[in-house]
A and B are shown apart, each in its own frame.
Chain A
Amino acid sequence: MKLVTQLLHNRKAMIGLSILLLVILVAIFAPLLTEYSPVKRVGRPHQPPSWEHWLGTTRIGHDVFSRLVHGARVSLAVGFGAGLLITVIGTVLGIIAGYKGGVVDEVINFFTNMVLVVPNLPLLLVLAAFIGQASPLVIAIILGFTSWAWGVRVTRSETLSIRQRDFVKSAEMLGEPGWRIMAFEIFPNLISIVGINFIGSVIFAVITEATLEFLGLGDPNTVSWGIMLYNAQNASALSVGAWWDLLSPCIALAVLGLGLALINFAIDEIANPRLRTGGMLNRWTRMVRLGEGKL
């Protein structure tokens, strides 16, 4: 709860949360924001932005704005779904490895390090290529099961240091079972690491889903920002001058990524007070300028 209050007092977090909230609202109310269906031909091909079609039309006459607001749903769902999966796997394995130690730790640590040195995107490309046209759900699942390694690494090293603290030792003396200690003594102390891992994973999942779809591994019937990029690229949108077709999903992805990254930086600042450059330094600078003192 303290984390939430602190987030609400952080300027970066507030901007980031506002952006995220905006995208979420757009996704929820997508059908109310546009009269056009995202999957029907509603205009002539490649019409530039106008009153009728705010962001123009695609090569086959879809409304770009309608596809954009509906596509937000897929990006958010894949991002948060895969992000949650990645975080749960990473946190559980990390806490178990860090707390149990011994053989369990060695096995988990070995696999984690191995997954870390196999390049992620090339691996995903092979998986997706064999699956064929991967739906957003399938993409979310394979992202979840291949991208947890970083989370295990940071959670494990943090657990290793928390394990040595007094309250864990005393819980052990009182004979609390291992799972209770991990869930109720250790996990609450990892909350900011888990938060950073979660938001970072959401960013990663949003970016990677769009990338896989852009590279032609998605299901072309999906309405998502990645498929919009893929279709626009295939329609040579830039060389025929239909910039709106390509730039709309680009800017949407950039804005969502930026919003999430701002939240992540804010959590990092709150978790690590040394990174904070808050009001006190501004006040200090002002006082030095006024000649009230020096270093």
Chain B
Amino acid sequence: MAFLLRRLAFYLAAFIAAATINFFLPRLMPGDPIEIMFASAGSELSLDNLNALKLTFGFIDAPLHEQYLSYLKSVFTGDLGRSIKYFPLPVTDLLGRALVWTVGLVGIATLISFTLGSFLGVMAAWRRATLFDSIVSLAAIFSSSVPAVVVSLIMLFVFGYTLGWFPNGYAADPMLDPGFDWTYISSVLHHGTLPMLTLVIVLTGGFAVTMRNNMINLLGEDYIVMGRAKGLTEDNVMLWYAARNALLPTVSSLAIAVGTILGGSLVTEVVFNYPGLGNTLYQAILARDYPVIQGQLLIMTAAMLISNFAVDLSYVLLDPRLKRA
């Protein structure tokens, strides 16, 4: 428990750090920070609306530390300001809508690639130096070194444009009404396949390499030799003695991988014109819609911290040594 509480306190500090970057960045830029932040609005913003926005971002007539506290207060009350491009849509609404798609896409892709990668890594390590091991290792090198933007563009070119098997954009057929009926769901699946496959290709290799290395480092341990000496089946030793222990460091590397996964999904969504956070952010960057750009950093950081906490929790569940007797 103490361990988890300490982690929570740390995550809170990290979130405040991200908010602090947001606060100081426009103020560190040459020129008037208010001018910079809301320049893209032009003269469309009424004075009342502009003042409301200024308040949210801490641009108040007060010393810097009070401005800072004022900004933190808006962040912690869930007020991330309003999008300038889609004024007066609140940033939280805009990003929240996009977040659903991203979480679905990233969540499922991570689940698939973690399971597949770990499985391949376990098998490759267990069959050291066989043809299977060589193929997995080589594929893993390839998968972990080619940028997500490249993989998604090639996937789009081959399966979207050339073969025409999958649609080239959107999360579902725009002509359909969203709902829990088969037509809509199958359309969502059809549209999600390519971005999903792209992420799986980009992520699986890394997980496979991590798991393979962790396994190989464990194979000399006495408890694994003893498992074999006990006359257990090979599968039993491989899964419950080797893989089960190698899973621990692999899970903790998952926490660091979350950042890479989020980064990969940003780009993939842009290429596939998928209406998740990445694409919303891309539109915001093109329009220099700073409240949205800043808001996504906070949302992404929150997502990262929540995933990290989930990893901490599963670590405590997986490793009996961390449980208090």
Using CB atoms and an 8 Å cutoff, list the residues of chain A in contact with chain B: 12, 113-114, 116-123, 125-127, 129-131, 150, 203, 206-207, 210-211, 214-217, 229, 233, 238-239, 241, 243, 246-247, 250-251, 253-254, 257-258, 260-262, 265, 268, 272, 274-275, 277, 281-282, 285
Contacts and interface: CB of A to CB of B under 8 A. Distances in A.
Contact of B285 (A113, A129, A274): A129
Contacts of A121: 259, 262-263, 266
Interface residues of B, number: 63
Nearest to A132: B288
B142 interface: yes
A229 to B, nearest CB: 7
A260 B145 CA distance: 8
Contacts of B21: 118, 123, 126
B14 A126 contact: no
A132 to B, nearest CB: 9
B129 A246 contact: no
Interface in B5-26: 10-11, 13-14, 17-18, 21-22, 25-26
A258 B220 CA distance: 31
A114 B19 CA distance: 13
Nearest to A150: B256
Interface string B291-312: 0011011001101110010000
A130 B25 contact: yes
A206 B134 CA distance: 27
Interface in B73-115: none
B203 interface: no
A210 B153 CA distance: 13
B217 interface: yes
B308 A117 contact: yes
23 contacts: A114-B17, A119-B258, A119-B263, A120-B260, A125-B266, A125-B281, A125-B293, A125-B296, A126-B22, A126-B296, A126-B297, A130-B29, A210-B147, A239-B168, A246-B153, A246-B157, A250-B150, A251-B150, A257-B145, A260-B145, A275-B216, A277-B133, A277-B134
Contacts, number: 161
A119 B300 contact: yes
A253 B259 contact: no
Contact of B141 (A261, A274, A277): A261
Nearest to B33: A130
B147 A247 contact: no
B25 A127 contact: yes
Contacts of A210: 147, 149
B282 A261 contact: no
Contacts of B301: 117-119, 122
Nearest to B29: A130
A272 to B, nearest CB: 8
A119 B262 contact: yes
A211 B267 contact: yes
B95 to A, nearest CB: 12
A238 B161 contact: yes
B36 interface: yes
B288 to A, nearest CB: 7
A214 B281 contact: no
Nearest to B153: A250
Contacts of B154: 247, 250
B142 A258 contact: yes
Nearest to B156: A238
B157 A247 contact: yes
B290 interface: yes
Contacts of B22: 126
Contacts of B220: 274
Nearest to B213: A275
B67 interface: no
B69 interface: no
B120 interface: no
Contact of B144 (A116, A150, A214, A261): A261
B262 A122 contact: yes
Contacts of B294: 126
Given A117-B11, A150-B256, A258 B293 contact: no
B11 A125 contact: no
Given A130-B25, A250-B153, A277-B129, A211 B263 contact: yes
A116 B260 CA distance: 11
A109 to B, nearest CB: 11
Contacts of A211: 147-149, 263, 267
A246 B153 CA distance: 8
A275 B271 CA distance: 37
Contacts of A268: 213
A121, A215, A243, A247: which has the most chain B beta carbons within 10 Å? A121
Contacts of B300: 119, 122
Contacts of A262: 141
A246 B260 CA distance: 24
Contacts of B148: 211
Contacts of B10: 113-114
Contacts of B163: none
Given A215-B282, A216-B282, A114 B146 contact: no
A247 B168 CA distance: 16
Given A123-B21, A129-B285, A215-B285, A247 B153 contact: yes
